[in-house]
């Protein structure tokens, strides 16, 4: 009886919150009720914050059921796996690799997907199975194909889906290749982020169909894009809101450490200068997105110190160039050191000023076009206004 009460109270509380923020619309309410979130959450989870930054300790349903129920029916993501399953136990691993997504994000993306009766949907990233269950209830299990790369996650999701009375086609494999036997699809939705839209997703979507996926450049900053597939094999559309998802496994980045860039003792062969642009200014999610689109093949790292100051490191993926900017409280000028053929801080600073000069646009003003050969163009306000590249 206690668990039944927790389930009913938690579901009602979360439904009210999701309805109030506009994520849960009336057309998805019956699915929300029919396949409750707790059916798809394992006993051991690591609750996160709504901004996608995971924090805190594990919550174990068996040891602390009240905390588990509270986590399940809070509007936060729940990490369910670390390091592709290599990490076990209640401590946190190095990299979160599977989760039950933040409910606001789940229903916002489903709203963007705009499924209709009779649609066939391909989902990339089964995870715990909740999203596939919601789709199955809405349009019928026979019209849903879901692909999961991790065999253990897939097996557990299959059991949860069966217990919920759902039977979508669950494929264990690489989501980047989709599932050709089920094509064409009317809708494709990804619950993992990408820096390149896999051509297979476009090829397997009918003309006029939609692809909804989290997309972000190497540098950082990420948003959900809603692409319409054209008759010519291109796909184009606007970003609809910020996101923070785990990367598609095939597109995970390998990022060298700072020491691999240095040719000798500090400051190695770096050239020192000064900047009035604070590293704080270039660290927000929309700013990072705008910078990353313009500065390809580069990524930031933060080295923090006990006194609250930090160093922003900029690296290129080719391991040819690096830069640092030192931030200290109260400063209005910041020391810069750069090395290599690319002036990475110069590129970042120019990209930030481009974004600032245009009123610091949010994600909703940006769009993406991808071509059949895998090319992509990010644009501002219109496909006729491509965002420039600084490299």
211 with 381: CB under 8 angstroms? no
CA distance 137 to 35: 8
Concatenated DSSP letters of 159-192: HHHHHTT---EEEES-GGG--GGG--EEEEEESS
205 CB neighbour count, 10 Å cutoff: 25
Residue ranges of E strands in the chain: 44-47, 59-60, 78-82, 96-100, 121-124, 144-148, 169-172, 185-190, 205-215, 223-229, 235-242, 271-275, 298-304, 310-316, 322-327, 334-339, 366-370, 376-380
**Gap between the Cα atoms of 35 and 46, Å rounded:** 22
101 is catalytic: yes
Closest of 306, 302, 310 to residue 258, by C-alpha: 302
- Residue of 31, 98, 101, 339 marked catalytic: 101
CA dihedral 136, 139, 142, 144 (to 10 degrees): -60
Residue 23 near residue 112, CB atoms below 8 Å: no
How would you classify the pairing of strands 144-148 and 334-339?
A: unpaired
What DSSP element (H or E) covers 105? helix 103-113
Q: Name every residue whose Cβ is closer than 8 Å to that of residue 9 and which is 6 or more positions away in sequence.
A: 73
Residue with tokens 């110190």: 305
Phi-psi category of residue 88: left, alpha or beta, with phi > 0 → left and psi -120 to 50 → alpha: beta
- Catalytic annotation, residues: 101
């Amino acid at each position: 009886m206690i668990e039944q009460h927790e389930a009913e109270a938690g579901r009602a509380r979360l439904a009210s919150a999701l309805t109030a923020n506009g994520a849960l619309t009336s057309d998805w309410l019956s699915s929300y009720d029919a396949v409750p979130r707790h059916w798809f959450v394992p006993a051991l989870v690591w609750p996160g914050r709504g901004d996608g930054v995971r924090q805190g300790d594990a919550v174990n349903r068996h040891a602390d059921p009240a905390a588990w129920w509270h986590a399940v029916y809070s509007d936060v993501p729940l990490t369910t796996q670390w390091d592709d399953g290599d990490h076990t136990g209640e401590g946190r691993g190095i990299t979160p690799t599977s989760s039950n997504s933040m409910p606001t994000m789940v229903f916002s993306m489903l709203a963007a997907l705009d499924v209709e009766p009779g649609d066939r949907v391909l989902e990339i990233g089964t995870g715990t199975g909740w999203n596939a269950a919601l789709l199955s209830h809405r349009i019928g299990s026979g019209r849903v194909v879901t692909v999961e790369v991790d065999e253990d996650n897939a097996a557990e999701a299959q059991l949860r889906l069966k217990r919920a009375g759902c039977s979508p086609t669950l494929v264990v494999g690489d989501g980047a290749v989709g599932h050709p036997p089920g094509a064409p699809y009317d809708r494709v939705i990804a619950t993992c982020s990408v820096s390149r839209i896999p051509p297979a997703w476009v090829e397997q979507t009918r003309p006029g169909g939609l692809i909804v996926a989290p997309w972000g450049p190497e540098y950082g900053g990420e948003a959900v894009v809603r692409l319409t597939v054209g008759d010519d094999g291109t796909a184009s559309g606007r970003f609809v809101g910020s996101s923070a998802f785990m990367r598609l496994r095939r597109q995970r980045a390998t990022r060298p450490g700072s020491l691999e860039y240095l040719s000798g003792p500090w400051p190695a062969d770096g050239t020192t200068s000064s900047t009035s642009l604070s590293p704080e200014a270039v660290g927000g999610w929309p700013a990072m997105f705008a910078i990353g689109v313009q500065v390809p093949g580069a990524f930031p790292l933060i080295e923090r110190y006990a006194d609250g100051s930090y160093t922003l490191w900029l690296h290129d993926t080719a391991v040819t160039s690096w830069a640092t900017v030192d931030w200290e409280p109260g400063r209005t000028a910041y020391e810069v050191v750069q090395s290599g053929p690319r002036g990475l801080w110069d590129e970042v600073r120019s990209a930030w000023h481009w974004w600032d000069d245009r009123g610091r646009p949010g994600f909703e003003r940006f769009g993406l076009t991808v071509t059949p050969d895998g090319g992509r163009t990010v644009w501002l306000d219109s496909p006729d206004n491509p965002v420039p590249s600084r490299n």
